[in-house]
Amino acid sequence: MLSEVRLALAAQQETANTASQAELDVDKKRMRALAAWTGLTLTTPNPVPYGAEIVHSKTGESLMRATNAVRKEHDPSAHAEVRTMRLACGKLNASSLSGYTLYTTCEPCPMCMACALWAGLDRVVYGATIADAARFGLQILIPAAEVAKRTDIKCVVVGPVERDICFALFTNPSMQKAFKTWNSGRP
């Protein structure tokens, strides 16, 4: 009897690991695609390493994606995650994004993570860490998972996923030149 229970538990654990690995494989694929899409900005006059996409959690259908536009829009809240959530909510004509997952090339700052919580997102999956981003500019160094832990709103935070690929957006020569301008205080 005990061996049957152990076998059943082992089978459940194996299924859970397989499901987790399958989900991680999907997350990696989506993050690579998002990083490639965000990387397209590196050849423009306004390069940014921050991109975000919202997908349906069950079907994987893309709802919306956007990049950071703080400098372009002269709006300190125009982070990629917030812009993507605003656009997605507008498209759905709703304030809830329950049933959706946010992918972002960099760990959300506290403002963006709070917005993700208020929007009711199921999951937030990030690439580079907030500590990675802090190497190139000012950041509020509170991890997204810490923000999520301090609320009763449920949202799973996963990351870093494909960190090296997302971090490469920050180290691209075009982006390094932009960071020098951003950090100098010039428009």
Catalytic residue positions? Answer: 81
The CA distances from residue 49 to 19, 35, 96, 117, 156, in Å, are 30, 8, 27, 23, 23
Cβ-based neighbours of 78, under 8 Å, separated by 6 or more: 68, 69, 70, 72
Asked if 68 contacts 179 with a C-beta cutoff of 8 angstroms, the reply is no
Asked if 139 contacts 5 with a C-beta cutoff of 8 angstroms, the reply is no
User: Which is nearest to 124 in space by CA: 101, 106, 145, 149?
Assistant: 101
Cβ-based neighbours of 50, under 8 Å, separated by 6 or more: 38, 67, 68, 79, 80, 104, 105, 106
Asked if 78 contacts 96 with a C-beta cutoff of 8 angstroms, the reply is no
In sequence order, what are the beta bridge partners of 157? 124
